[in-house]
Amino acid sequence: MASEEELFANIDALLEEEPQLPPPAERARLREAAGITQARLAQALKSTVQTVKNYENGRSEPKSPRLEAYQRLLNGWAAKYPAHAVPAAAPAPAPQPNPVPQTFTAVPTVETDLAEPDAPAAQSARPAARPATSRRPAAKKAAKAALDPRFPHGPLAVLDGDGSAYGVNGIVLDCPATTVPQLVEWTLRESGLGSPKLHRNGKDGDPLIVLTAAAAVKLGLPERLEGHEQRRSLRLPEDHPVVKQVLKARWQLTQRGFGPWARIYRKATGNQRQCVQLAVLSWDALDARSWPGVSEMEPADIARVLGVYATRVITPRGSTAVSGLELMTALRPPTRAVQDRETGNWVSGHNPGSLGTQPMDPAPPEATPEHPVVVNSGWTGGFLDEEAYQWVRDVDLLSDEECMLPYAVGLDLNTAFLAAAARLVVGMSEPEYVQHPEFDKRIPGSWFVDLSGIELDPRLPSPFTPSGKRPTGPAWYQTHTVAYAQELGYNVAPIEAYLRRETGAYLDPWHDRLKNAYVDTLADLGVTKDLSDREFIAAMEHHKQKDPALAAVLSAIKATVKGGVGKLRERPQGKSYKEGERWPALERPTWRPDIRAAVISKARVNMHRKLRNMADMTGLYPLAVLSDCVVYPSPGTSPLDFLPYAASGKPQPGGFRLGPTPGLAKVEGVQEMAWAVDLMEKGLNPARHVKGDGHDAVFDEGE
């Protein structure tokens, strides 16, 4: 039996241990309940806003003496604002777990590991509430998502013509539906499909059912959609029998109708959402550019690909561009529950940091020529031209030494737009017109300023235009572009501006989630952060062959980034559109061309800064740039032959660096120098073709 001294010694040891803090999500809840901003908390803790963000998302923990001060504050808030007193933004009664269909089976030949296709399959039927686990950390996360008690079978299933519905982690459900309304009812009532919300103030993800061609035909749908329009724009006619079935069963379709991505729903009763997303494979729901080879895979493999994407990014809700935009809203829900001070009732209120629920008209120079703001005002003052680089150096500026080099090596920056979105401050309020403003790089906006007098090396593209040509007079620029002119040592004197005084890092959680998805998927393909540059180049040469399914996930993640940014300025679609009319995209709070311009401006400036640093460190100048790809003349076939390294062997800061994270570079392709010069003489861009696989590099603005 322990002595009194031993017991007291044990108690003293416990008292001397570091304070234990509540989970990260609870820290954020307590701060918001107290009405304190992250900036104010950072000031009180004598820290930074980013550090507070890290505390609240679990990326780092405070150290003494800040640890004790933070715990004291949280304890005080916890006493005032207990968790049960603050309802969620959209309080919903906890539904009973969906009944497990008696026909649930496990198929031994189906892969059971999201990240490891060679893992042994289950040898006997598994209980439905216990999907297969994985030895890989990434796959464990996927399995954890599927084990949510409300969604025991994960976020989605791929339905084949025999009624087999293939889900994540190798599960197979038996779906008895023979009509679309029956399929919707089965999905919501029996399947156990869905996904938990990505933000505490958000909504759970609707289940996704992907239909093979055989399943589509079985449900009465045509195997293919025929028409002269783009495939993604095609829809079933309103008098089609399946559409009539859906409406007769008192379900509704969105305004987009029954197309490759059909959303079928009923108006919510109370807080209970009733919505199912369908994707028809044979109607080209999965674009081969974003999802290479996926439509041709077996249903179980398709479920694996989409399941990894759903776990790491979001359950697909349309094209990758649509999913990229939906992810922004899912991570920054527009509303949250707030308590009315007069009545004490909980009502829906603005969620700080979000874009809210109402669309915001852009300033005229931020809009497109057909926008009502432009047409109705008669605006003729010009527009922002913040686009990605498409530049080729003048052949006359090539030196003899450069032409004698044997190779042209293309470097591609990993998800350059995603890297630009990191810690990007954007405007959260309506634009305010100002004449002759003093430039302030801290204010997001559009500035009319003359940068044509700035002299730069002609062997580099101008940082101020996407063509790389020197400006010829005053023009509209986003804040980052003007700030870069100032960084280069030039005085800037804006003539006028449209500025947004309220600011925020709206894209931060979007950046963080997509960055983790990209890095984790590359790691599963054998490309990890700990590789040397030489090992990294070797790993990237074969990573797609290692696992084509995960390679398709990686492609979709990259397309989600570019497409999501493009969707921020979606143009009108359809031949019947007339200038000056509002088009559907304008009704979204996320129709924000100014945010798109900020991302692209920062990405282009980042590229130019690296080009300039490379010239300073190595004396090398690029042959061409296309968006995030740059081509350099090289004495060898590897970027190791011309990238700057210190005597220690470490990469020199400021230039291009190889690696698997956003903003670092990988090899895009290698060609002979004579090939590149020949294209340049023809006015073609070597960066578009350097990959050499027959597919041109393009900048996807989204759909």
For each of the domains in the chain, give its residue range(s) and CATH number, in order of start. Answer: 17-85 (1.10.260.40), 105-318 (no CATH)
How far, in Å, CA of 275 to CA of 261, rounded? 13
| pLDDT surpasses 60 at 695 | no
What tens digit of pLDDT does each residue of 644-685 get?
999 888 999 999 999 999 999 999 999 999 999 999 999 999
Q: What is the mean pLDDT of residues 274-291?
A: 96
DSSP 32-57: HHTT--HHHHHHHTTS-HHHHHHHHH
Residue 194's Cβ-count burial label (10 Å; 0-12, 13-18, 19+) is buried
- 101 pLDDT higher than 50: no
Query: What is the residue type of 291?
Result: W
**What average pLDDT does the structure give for the chain?**
87
- DSSP H or E run through 480: helix 479-487
**Nearest 10 degrees: Cα torsion 129, 132, 137, 143:** -30
Q: What pLDDT, on a 0 to 100 scale, did the predictor assign at position 556?
A: 98
- Per the CB < 8 A criterion, the answer to whether 468 and 461 are in contact is yes
Helical H segments across 149-200, by residue range: 180-189
pLDDT tens readout for residues 47-77: 877 788 888 887 778 887 888 888 889 888 8
Which of the 8 DSSP states describes residue 658?
Answer: B
Q: What angle do CA 348, 77, 356 make, to 5 degrees?
A: 25
User: pLDDT higher for 112 or 519?
Assistant: 519
Which tokens belong to 185? 């009812």
**452: Cα separation from own chain's centroid:** 35
Residue 645 DSSP one-character state: B
Q: Alpha helices, DSSP H only, in 133-231?
A: 137-146, 180-189, 213-218
Average pLDDT value for residue range 246-255: 95
170: left (phi over 0), alpha (psi -120 to 50) or beta: left
Q: How far from 182 is each of 249, 257, 276, 486, CA to CA, in Å?
A: 9, 18, 12, 63
What is the DSSP pairing of strand 272-280 with strand 252-253? unpaired
pTM of the model: 0.79
Q: Which residues, at least 6 apart from 265, have a Cβ–Cβ distance to it below 8 Å? A: 251, 252, 254, 273, 274, 275, 276
- Residue 544's pLDDT is 92
Query: pLDDT category, 696, cuts 50, 70, 90?
Result: low
Q: Report pLDDT for 192.
A: 93
Q: What is d(CA 101, CA 152) in angstroms, rounded to the nearest whole number?
A: 12
Distance CA 321, CA 323 (A): 5
Q: What is the pLDDT of residues 476-511, one digit of tens each?
A: 999 999 999 999 999 999 999 999 999 999 999 999
Summarize the confidence of residues 157-169 as an average pLDDT.
95
Strands 171-174 and 496-499: unpaired
Count the Cβ atoms, other than its own, within 10 Å of residue 594. 26
